[in-house]
Amino acid sequence: MCARTSFAGQASELFNGTTVRRGEVKLIPHDVGIRTGAVEILRDGTFRLQSGPVTNDDQSCFIFNEIYIEGGVRAPLGSIDVTNNRTIINTDDFYWRSPSAGDVRSLLASGLRSGKGIVSTFSDLEFGIGYATMARLNESGIFCGADSIVLKLSRIGDANLDGTVNAADVSVVRAAFGQHDTDWLSGDFDYTGTIDTVDFNVVAARIASPHVERIGAPVPEPTCTTALGLGAMILFRRRRSVA
């Protein structure tokens, strides 16, 4: 269990117990504030957060304490659409259906692959969902622990989150190359947890041209010689199945 941090405010809205059976349920906040809750999403359902200004503070965000998606984290049949909201997935096992970090990564990977899982309708060839723990982002003071996962719409390839993709990001990926159980801040742009040639090519291709193919598409002449490949995915510890 991760350490719980202090509260900075009161939740302004709860969405506990929301079940999306099919179609779309849109969470429309009534005011600026923190929303916490749990969702259950069945086949072909989408739980969509109303898009809003992207914020980087703890005064306005969505926090998921529990997530259940039919099909499980590796083959989800429903979706959470975070649009452009700063969203936090609470991994604290204080909650019954809180996902592990590996579960969150699997849901992001599935979203990238199939459009089911954790997705953003604001994602395109330039922007994707960045992810890292609150601790890694030096964030605290909200309703969950330091190991909770923060999701932010980020420029693909921008590992250091400074808004641009350049040689500094290449350096980040190069330094983390071969590491497992990593995050976006280390250059894991395809949610495998491992930093490999796929991630390197993502950032290298975007320096060469901002209008490149989707993540995972082949790019010419990769410059990394160490190939771990997607098959080297780490087996993440699953505290519990959310299937």
Residue 23 vs 231, nearer CB to Ca ion: 231
- Binding flag, residue 66, Ca ion (CB under 5 A): no
Task: Supply the minimum distance, in Å, between the C-beta of residue 194 and Ca ion.
Answer: 5
Which CB contacts under 8 angstroms, 24+ apart, belong to 205-208?
Answer: 205/157, 206/156, 206/157, 206/165, 207/157, 207/165, 207/166, 207/167, 207/169, 207/170
Structure tokens given for 14 = 């709860």
Window 135-174: contact mask with Ca ion (x via CB under 5 A)? -----------------------x-x-x------x-----
CB 98 within 8 A of CB 65: yes
Residue 40 vs 169, nearer CB to Ca ion: 169
With CB under 5 A as the contact rule, the residue among 152, 173, 188, 203 that binds Ca ion is: 188
Residue 107 vs 142, nearer CB to Ca ion: 107
| Residues contacting Ca ion: total by CB under 5 A | 8
Residue type, 179: Q
- Binding flag, residue 179, Ca ion (CB under 5 A): no
- Binding flag, residue 199, Ca ion (CB under 5 A): yes
Residue 5 vs 133, nearer CB to Ca ion: 133
User: Quick one: which segment of 13-21, 49-57, 123-131, 184-192 binds Ca ion (CB under 5 A)?
Assistant: 184-192
User: Quick one: which segment of 3-11, 76-84, 99-107, 187-195 binds Ca ion (CB under 5 A)?
Assistant: 187-195
Structure tokens given for 229 = 């490949």
Alpha helices in 124-183 (DSSP H): 167-176
Ordered DSSP codes for 182-229:
--GGGT--SSSSS--HHHHHHHHHHHH-SS-PPTT---SS--------
Q: What is the DSSP letter of 50?
A: P
List interacting residues with Ca ion (CB under 5 A): 158, 160, 162, 169, 188, 190, 192, 199
